[in-house]
Structure 1
């Protein structure tokens, strides 16, 4: 306290003593403690000073003076007072308070010693173990911190602070299932904790339990309507659940509390973009850029909108931000320079490497022959399942798995997804000649023809789901049961679906779909099987790009907001001349899309039968049909 405050306290001490009726240090300390608990700090100080005037070595009053100083953020004063109390009476509670003061002063090693001492003096007190865990966490020693916090909880299941700290530590380590256990324990002890509900919602979100996450977020929001993070994260979850109006309200609440909240601005813009309210979305991206012009996520999302609307010049350039932190893409660590279309390649060796997904590698493989035509020797580094196929790509001198420990020597490098930028690709200049992917090996194709048997009906390949870890999987994958309405069409359905989900496996077992996917060892096999089919019907996965690159007829189911490469409002693709796009409308309903596919397949099946009848010989035997 200041000198003026101490003089004022002295002047008021007699009055305080009279009002409290206190005359002993113990009674004055008790009165001071009551004042502290009621946040009457000046009155609490006056009681302590009276007690110390009577007994200068009264440990409880010195300790209380330390707590008062700690409450006021005066850590050095707190340390001094509490140290005096300990010298008078080395109680565990005093030592623990000293640890708090040292922690507040940033003296972590000293705080650790104090909390360790308190726990040794009073090992049955959960509070000391909780404090020990807190300082260990602050010192970035999470494993030791967890042990201390678990000890606190073993002594008292009501120690919700320890449970919440343990849950937070595990959350930060992405140990979500373990974190959930601690937040469950905390909320069992006290269900009305807004922060714990918010954290459990984040954990559930990361475990993919979005409905449960939304329930916790809504409860947290009711308990603490001023927490902008709760509004924002709840909005994120509701958006993924397709509850767009509720999500939008959450983002608006967050922004009403903090108008410059960058993450909420971006989340609101993303939601509007997913709703194809593109002008509104761009307005919020502009607000985000005004706050953080160099934010990589903003630049990336704007680039995707540019691409979706056909503004390729801005989009390709913006997508180069993908190497920045926060987007989850590891930047290449090569000593050699990057090639982005400038500078001659004649006589040089260029490493072209896959930098995104397998579908992206198939899509942008069309540029590899163009690079070779510039006089370069091309080394291709791609995902291992694609190596056998892409090694036969025109212009490739050598193809290696991108995971290889030692790459062949090269002069310059370029990511596959940067090749369109290097060639300044616009909508009108997409290299769309097909097939550009290598033809399947004749021997492999013959094996698949033999396995499939007579080509007496239209053959249709099916893929209904992609990578479950994909950020947009909920929108782009389709439960197999929805495709079952196609199966009464007179065609031969063939599964191209690798690793079907558990629910789909059960459905698949009861359907008339040829499934030999266990024989698909790599994409060379998939390409060979695909070449035996008349049409491939697929959601937006790597199979769509493989089929398109092979020049096979491919029908692609697209969500309401599709990936950037499919553009908007068209049933064809400038990337793949043999592709036919089936888009969700604003109902975001795949049932309607599948109805359109059913109608189209019925027509194709009838046309196939008509062609087959025309090519049947006089003995009634069908001749081989040309593939579509």
Structure 2
């Protein structure tokens, strides 16, 4: 406080007061005269050591000088004198800067009690709760900020970002719509909105948002990546690669983009380029589970089982795969120790088809002298329970399994036995044939065998990540349905778009209501001459039984079917019919029709010859 200001303050009050000194100190602070402001505060405290405003202002000055401990002490003393919202906010800010987030939260909350209509405070506390991982509570704070101030774009954007992180995409879109209207020049905002639109299948809007984001800021590599994924989903391969390459030009070490580009190359069967891209991704992140899993898929697809089985174990670190680590205290068996007289739990870890495929290893484990508990999903429990060497077969459930010494997931058994292409066991079949009684029950349902019988499956689990490539709409199979065969549906869970077509085809026998589990499906297969199916668990069942099965494969098949071959080393009774190019089911069905006509004709000839033999 200079002499003139002191005289003015004295003239107003008759003497220099702490309040007048604080007022002058605040004026100095606002004007950037920090030293003068501090002098006024200390003079005020000389007159009144407990003057709250002076204590607070001195704490603020210390905070500005990066003296955080001193700031917290001065402001804390002010709060003891007068717990004003202003003081509480200042101390919360200091504590937040110091990293004492929980203490800061408590002081913000106290300030909010005193200023419940302050939208900015609700928004700020929401951000802090987000940092503390109290995400649902943070959403409520952002929403309250918007309720108090509907045009508060920052709160709208924060709420949208957090809802996006929580996977609540429809709610996030509402917030991002508000933010976009209030702040239409934010590239990051349109990028987030595009992600939400893509997640709720509003793909045209997503594309428009990504393009607008790029127009506002072409330097956001994430947006180019997201747009590339959208093009890939639509089958626009050239545009997808262009987007990925633009993203990599901006960020050469953008690991997610390298993974995405590698996957597209894999789907196109540009295998050398895919290998190179995944290795480039591993150079950036050597232990990344997603890259290792993609690389394992590529290795197994090309027959490199030695490297593929080991890399495939990265699946346990991928939430997207949906595997659950059971947390067993018992040791994982990887074929690296004797197991004679030990009890080992072999447990399913992926889908039903995977469990059927890898159950072939059970007799090999039993041959090492182990007592085997097999744990699988209930629909396949009875089917697999009869495999040689199983002491007990139990259904997969949250309940604790019986006591055991070691364990191994079924999908890890190929690694444990060091499986190579030429050592795949039991390709001729390993699941016991269904009982004669069960088969006869299905023969009775089907009636006289007067035509070649073919079981048919056209779609798999709609939640499977590759379902859009592997499943076929039933009406697409119309060219096959005119063959002179008797079609028997093995299709469980008929989709709405297929149900009407199926109801108009009385030539497709549908007794699937009696297929209560896979043992019943196996018994029905015992009455059939052939099974034709897309890549589902049914083909594994047929192969495991040694029943004739034709598998219809998309251009980019699952790794287990390998490439460029019409047979499968996993199942000797299986033939593979592959798309020659992406989406080309017509060529596949033409090949199947031709082969099926030949088989049906040969069957009729055999039946005719048999009818001519003397009784």
What TM bracket, shorter-length normalisation? 0.7 to 0.9
Instruction: Give the CA deviation at 1:67.
Output: 11
Q: Is the 8 A contact 1:210 1:241 kept in 2?
A: no
Match of 2:403 among 384, 399, 409: 409
**Which aligned pairs between 1:516-531 and structure 2 lie closer than 5 A?**
516-531=511-526
SS in 2 for 1:381: strand
Q: Is the 8 A contact 1:67 1:97 kept in 2?
A: no
Indicate yes or no: 2:291 matched with 1:298.
yes
2:584 aligned residue: 589
Match of 1:543 among 532, 535, 538: 538
Indicate yes or no: 2:256 matched with 1:267.
no
Match of 1:505 among 495, 499, 506: 499
Q: Is the 8 A contact 2:38 2:61 kept in 1?
A: no
SS in 2 for 1:355: coil
2:529 aligned residue: 534
1:286 aligned residue: 279
Indicate yes or no: 2:334 matched with 1:333.
no
Instruction: Give the CA deviation at 1:270.
Output: 1.5
Question: Unpaired segments of 5 or more residues in structure 1?
Answer: 1-24, 33-43, 624-628
**Which aligned pairs between 1:241-260 and structure 2 lie closer than 5 A?**
241-260=234-253
Q: Is the 8 A contact 1:96 1:115 kept in 2?
A: yes
Q: Which moved more, 1:232-241 or 1:551-560?
A: 232-241
Indicate yes or no: 2:310 matched with 1:317.
yes
When normalised by structure 2's length, the TM-score is 0.83
Q: Is the 8 A contact 1:157 1:189 kept in 2?
A: no
When normalised by structure 1's length, the TM-score is 0.81
Indicate yes or no: 2:111 matched with 1:147.
no
Instruction: Give the CA deviation at 1:152.
Output: 1.6
2:450 aligned residue: 456
Q: Is the 8 A contact 2:34 2:61 kept in 1?
A: no
Which whole-Å CA distance do the structure 2 matches of 1:330 and 1:455 have between them? Answer: 46
Q: 1:153 to 1:579 in 2, by over 3 A?
A: same
1:169 aligned residue: 162
Which whole-Å CA distance do the structure 2 matches of 1:460 and 1:286 have between them? Answer: 45
Q: Is the 8 A contact 1:484 1:511 kept in 2?
A: no
Q: Is the 8 A contact 1:66 1:80 kept in 2?
A: no
Instruction: Give the CA deviation at 1:380.
Output: 0.8
Match of 1:276 among 260, 269, 285: 269
User: CA deviation digits over 1:530-582, x for unaligned, max 9?
Assistant: 22222222111111111111112211111222111111111111111121111
Which whole-Å CA distance do the structure 2 matches of 1:293 and 1:261 have between them? Answer: 14
1:22 aligned residue: none
Instruction: Give the CA deviation at 1:192.
Output: 4.4
Instruction: Give the CA deviation at 1:191.
Output: 4.9
Q: Is the 8 A contact 2:63 2:94 kept in 1?
A: no
Which whole-Å CA distance do the structure 2 matches of 1:319 and 1:142 have between them? Answer: 33
2:101 aligned residue: 108
Match of 2:488 among 477, 486, 494: 494
Q: 1:352 to 1:434 in 2, by over 3 A?
A: same
Q: 1:573 to 1:221 in 2, by over 3 A?
A: same
Instruction: Give the CA deviation at 1:310.
Output: 0.9
User: CA deviation digits over 1:240-294, x for unaligned, max 9?
Assistant: 3322222222221222122122222222112111111111111122222222222
Indicate yes or no: 2:569 matched with 1:574.
yes
Which whole-Å CA distance do the structure 2 matches of 1:53 and 1:393 have between them? Answer: 85
Which whole-Å CA distance do the structure 2 matches of 1:549 and 1:384 have between them? Answer: 18
1:469 aligned residue: 463
SS in 2 for 1:437: coil
Instruction: Give the CA deviation at 1:100.
Output: 5.1
Instruction: Give the CA deviation at 1:165.
Output: 2.5
SS in 2 for 1:615: helix
Q: Is the 8 A contact 1:432 1:574 kept in 2?
A: no
Q: 1:421 to 1:148 in 2, by over 3 A?
A: closer
Instruction: Give the CA deviation at 1:399.
Output: 0.3
User: CA deviation digits over 1:484-525, x for unaligned, max 9?
Assistant: 332222222222222233323333333342222222111111
Q: Is the 8 A contact 2:386 2:432 kept in 1?
A: yes
Indicate yes or no: 2:417 matched with 1:423.
yes
Instruction: Give the CA deviation at 1:459.
Output: 2.1
SS in 2 for 1:560: coil
1:130 aligned residue: 123
SS in 2 for 1:456: coil
Q: How many residues align?
A: 581
Instruction: Give the CA deviation at 1:189.
Output: 4.7
Instruction: Give the CA deviation at 1:133.
Output: 1.8
Q: Which moved more, 1:576-585 or 1:212-221?
A: 212-221
Which whole-Å CA distance do the structure 2 matches of 1:190 and 1:509 have between them? Answer: 53
Instruction: Give the CA deviation at 1:95.
Output: 6.7
Which whole-Å CA distance do the structure 1 matches of 2:62 and 2:555 have between them? Answer: 60
Q: Which moved more, 1:449-458 or 1:193-202?
A: 193-202
Q: Is the 8 A contact 2:146 2:155 kept in 1?
A: yes
**Which aligned pairs between 1:32-431 and structure 2 lie closer than 5 A?**
102-109=95-102, 111-113=104-106, 115-116=108-109, 119-187=112-180, 189-207=182-200, 212-324=205-317, 328-403=322-397, 405-431=399-425
Q: 1:591 to 1:119 in 2, by over 3 A?
A: farther
Instruction: Give the CA deviation at 1:602.
Output: 2.7
Question: Unpaired segments of 5 or more residues in structure 2?
Answer: 1-21, 45-52
Q: Which moved more, 1:339-348 or 1:300-309?
A: 339-348
Q: 1:591 to 1:227 in 2, by over 3 A?
A: same
1:17 aligned residue: none
Which whole-Å CA distance do the structure 2 matches of 1:163 and 1:412 have between them? Answer: 52
Instruction: Give the CA deviation at 1:225.
Output: 2.0
SS in 1 for 2:331: coil
Q: 1:157 to 1:591 in 2, by over 3 A?
A: farther
Q: C-alpha root-mean-square deviation of aligned residues, in Å? A: 3.8
